[in-house]
Structure 1
Amino acid sequence: MADLLVRGIDDALVKALKEQAVAHGRSAEAEHREILAAALTRPRRRSFAEVLASMPEVGTDADFARAQSSAEAPRVFD
């Protein structure tokens, strides 16, 4: 396994790391490893296009037609 040395960390971050480690019953080094692993092994975020492409085909355009209203549309950006 490789070693990782991180220099120039703000004292407040080191303190927060140590406090979080104590709360989780781990050493600061083990907490640091856990944080790095969690941050770097997350599933890849899908692009907006991928999300749209994954949406199922449901209904027809007519199913989503707006009802005509004689009332003025709400002014939400004023």
Structure 2
Amino acid sequence: MASMTIRNIDEQLKSRLRVQAAHHGRSMEDEARDILRAALSTRTETAGQSLIDSIRSRISPLGGVDLTLPARETIQDRVDLGA
């Protein structure tokens, strides 16, 4: 197994990790390992998808919205400012 050292962690973040680890009855190291495992395992679901496909797959279960689009107006002639 590899080991890793994480430096410059905000004290508030470290405190939250300590409390969460105690709540789950494990060490801070085990808690951090579980958080990393969970965060990185959800990433594989969207691997290989384009950004728009990834967004669409997350939004589409929420349903769509029917928009009423206003009628397009004809393009007006350009004004000649050179005269």
TM bucket, shorter chain: 0.5 to 0.7
TM-superposed deviation, 1:44? 2.4
| Structure 1 residue ranges without an equivalent (≥5) | 53-72, 74-78
Work out whether 1:29 is the aligned partner of 2:68.
no
| Structure 2 residue ranges without an equivalent (≥5) | 58-67, 69-83
Deviations 1:4-43 (A, max 9, x none): 1000000000000000001111110100000000011114
Q: Point out 4+ residue stretches in structure 1 off by more than 6 angstroms.
A: none
Identity rate, percent: 42
**Residue equivalent to 1:8:** 8
TM-score, scaled relative to structure 1: 0.58
Q: Give the number of aligned pairs.
A: 55
From the superposition, tell whether residues 44 and 27 of structure 1 become closer, same or farther in structure 2 (CA, over 3 Å): same
RMSD: 2.7
Q: Match of 1:26, SS?
A: coil
**Residue equivalent to 1:67:** none
Written as runs of structure 1 = structure 2, the 5 A alignment for 1:1-78 is: 1-42=1-42, 43-45=44-46, 46-47=49-50, 48-49=52-53
Tell me which protein shows more helix as a share of its residues: 2
